Amino acid sequence: MSDAAHAHDDHGHHAHPTGIMRWLTTTNHKDIGSLYLWFSLIMLFTAGSMALLIRSELFEPGMQLMHPDFFNQLTTMHGLIMIFGVIMPAFTGFANWQVPLMIGAPDMAFPRMNNWSFWLLPVAGIMLLGSFWLPGGAVAGGWTMYPPLFIQGGVSYDLTILAIHIMGLSSIMGSINIITTILNMRAPGLTLMKMPMFVWTWLITAYLLIATMPVLAGAVTMLLTDRNFGTHFFNAAGGGDPVMFQHIFWFFGHPEVYILILPAFGIISQIIPTFSRKPLFGYASMVYATASIAILSFTVWAHHMFAVGMPVAAQLFFMFSTMLIAVPTGVKVFNWVATMWKGSLTFETPMLFAIAFVCLFTIGGFSGLVLAMAPVDIQLQDTYYVVAHFHYVLVSGALFSIFAGIYYWLPKWTGHMYNETLGKTHFWLSVIGMNIVFFPMHFLGLAGMPRRIPDYALQFTEFNQIATVGAFIFGFSQLIFLVLVLKTIKGGAKASDQVWEGAQGLEWTVPSPAPYHTFETAPVVK
């Protein structure tokens, strides 16, 4: 600890509380970042266990392990928790740790609100998970909560609506904090167009969150009043329209999928230049591509609804607007490849996950283009092809970027180097396991296997068995990751301040581990 910190402690009133009180009352961005990341990891194992139960039931046709309604509860909760409990909190954890370090700010703009943003999350998580033990069990109608099914469910449906309100509140407060920090607290000389890409992607993501969370809140509030107070927003018998729910939900839901991937683009854009020992190719086009994706994401929502019966003009509009997003996304993939081109590449674990991200996320992007075609989508609606598509973008996309980011920054956060052999073992088992689970799902979907069902026709057996074997490889290899993280926090070789030979930027100029108060060492940009 520096002399300045000792001086504060001598006065008494700046001494930090210890034990559980430290974590409950902390206003420090690094502590809160760690809380978000630990919450995310616990939820990853929770929702991952649900996935393994789902894959176990699907190992053979017929019903083996569970009641069909419990199967539906598992698919719903797996989706809700992976989105709101794993991916979003992990990215927010990265933002808390990295944004102040990367822009040379002492902390987040509103440290107390930051504490509240985090501590709302476990409350919502307990409400969601606790509903398994309520009469009728957890929500079973799919994470998209479509009426009329959602209007008929038991008390856990009301609880889920409340949990979503709380998570939305947490996201909005977090976004206000991130935007204010980035716009007001950058080190002198760090103009917007000099900011690291990770900071840019989170600035844009935070605006997406503020724009869309109230839309989701409105949709679920209308469900709540339809369920309890006699309104008929989505009830056709009372003059309402169940399809209107889908419009409102996906006006939130499609920007939401970019909330789940733009920070991933940011992480990958930090890692590839470091291990290529070259600056990011096309920085400005990266910024504009990110902003274009965010704006276009508000114009494509009905590509989730081609099967509801839309006018051809609407089908064409949403088909072409969806395909248009492939342009800025292609710019990004091109820039990552061009950054690596003629670089002096090394392949440490963060780079391996980043390269796997570029290859496998692109597979998910292309299956997205296939699904964007209205006539094709009407065939593939609600089949396993859709399941394959979004798991390529969310597992080998969002989740792999989170792994890449953890390996990249953990030495800076803990002051210790992780074990590279364990890291590479985790990488290869994950990348092989992930493809064994999800690639066969393309074939299942093209052959007509519907999603969200606990039983299936005999001809789908082989690909389902392959997928289940892959799921257990992927699932159990995450235990290696857990061991690696715990070992790195406890000890290991000391990490240098720069950590990676090719690393550039403010974050690498503070000591490893990063000091409790960044303002003691925050550098000035000339």
Nearer to Cu ion, 227 or 254 (CB): 254
Q: Kindly name the residue from 201, 322, 329, 477 that is annotated as catalytic.
A: 329
In the complex, minimum distance from the CB of residue 193 to Cu ion, in angstroms, rounded to a whole number: 30
The string over 380-396, giving b where at least 16 C-beta atoms fall within 10 Å of a residue's C-beta and e elsewhere, is: bbebbbbbbbbbbbbbb
304 is a catalytic site residue: yes
CA-CA distance, 305 to 247, in Å (whole number)? 8
451 is a catalytic site residue: yes
Nearer to Cu ion, 83 or 127 (CB): 83
329 is a catalytic site residue: yes
Closest CA to 143 of 215, 66, 84: 84
Nearer to Cu ion, 254 or 278 (CB): 254
Taking CA atoms, 380 is separated from 5, 126, 516, in Å, by 61, 35, 51
Nearer to Cu ion, 260 or 268 (CB): 260
In the complex, minimum distance from the CB of residue 93 to Cu ion, in angstroms, rounded to a whole number: 25
DSSP code string of 79-133? HHHIIIIIIHHHHHHHHHHHHHHHHT-SS-S-HHHHHHHHHHHHHHHHHHHHGGG
391 is a catalytic site residue: no
Nearer to Cu ion, 301 or 353 (CB): 301
In the complex, minimum distance from the CB of residue 161 to Cu ion, in angstroms, rounded to a whole number: 22
The upper half-sphere exposure of residue 170, i.e. CA atoms within 13 Å in the direction of its Cβ, equals: 25
DSSP collapsed to 3 states, 330-389 = HHHHHHHHHHHCCCCCCCCHHHHHHHHHHHHHHHHHHHHHHHHCHHHHHHHCCEHHHHHH
Q: Kindly name the residue from 226, 256, 348, 377 that is annotated as catalytic.
A: 256
Taking CA atoms, 182 is separated from 93, 101, 103, 296, 395, in Å, by 16, 11, 7, 23, 28
In the complex, minimum distance from the CB of residue 381 to Cu ion, in angstroms, rounded to a whole number: 13
Residues that bind Cu ion (CB under 5 A): 254
CB atoms within 10 A of CB 487: 14
Long-range pairs for 444-449: beta carbons < 8 A, 24 or more residues apart: 444/383, 444/384, 444/385, 444/388, 445/380, 445/383, 445/384, 445/385, 445/386, 445/387, 445/388, 446/380, 446/383, 446/385, 448/383, 449/383, 449/384
In the complex, minimum distance from the CB of residue 412 to Cu ion, in angstroms, rounded to a whole number: 35
232 is a catalytic site residue: no
In the complex, minimum distance from the CB of residue 141 to Cu ion, in angstroms, rounded to a whole number: 19
170 is a catalytic site residue: yes
Closest CA to 348 of 265, 422, 286, 283: 422
Give the contacts of 183 (CB within 8 A, at least 6 positions apart): 203
DSSP code string of 425-469? HHHHHHHHHHHHHHHHHHHHHHTTPBSS-S---GGGHHHHHHHHH
CA-CA distance, 18 to 102, in Å (whole number)? 28
Nearer to Cu ion, 128 or 257 (CB): 257
In the complex, minimum distance from the CB of residue 34 to Cu ion, in angstroms, rounded to a whole number: 32
**CB 417 within 8 Å of CB 411:** yes
Q: Kindly name the residue from 143, 146, 207, 456 that is annotated as catalytic.
A: 143
Taking CA atoms, 505 is separated from 379, 429, 496, 520, in Å, by 48, 32, 15, 18
In the complex, minimum distance from the CB of residue 318 to Cu ion, in angstroms, rounded to a whole number: 9
207 is a catalytic site residue: no
AA letter at 376:
V
389 is a catalytic site residue: no
Closest CA to 173 of 98, 104, 116, 93: 116
Nearer to Cu ion, 320 or 347 (CB): 320
Q: Kindly name the residue from 160, 269, 488, 512 that is annotated as catalytic.
A: 269
143 is a catalytic site residue: yes
Q: Kindly name the residue from 29, 30, 55, 78 that is annotated as catalytic.
A: 78
Residue whose C-beta lies closest to Cu ion: 254
Nearer to Cu ion, 258 or 384 (CB): 258
Q: What does the longest C-alpha to C-alpha distance in the chain come to? A: 74
Nearer to Cu ion, 297 or 477 (CB): 297
In the complex, minimum distance from the CB of residue 394 to Cu ion, in angstroms, rounded to a whole number: 12
254 is a catalytic site residue: yes
171 is a catalytic site residue: yes
78 is a catalytic site residue: yes
Residues classed as catalytic: 78, 107, 143, 170-171, 254, 256, 258, 269, 303-304, 329, 332, 451
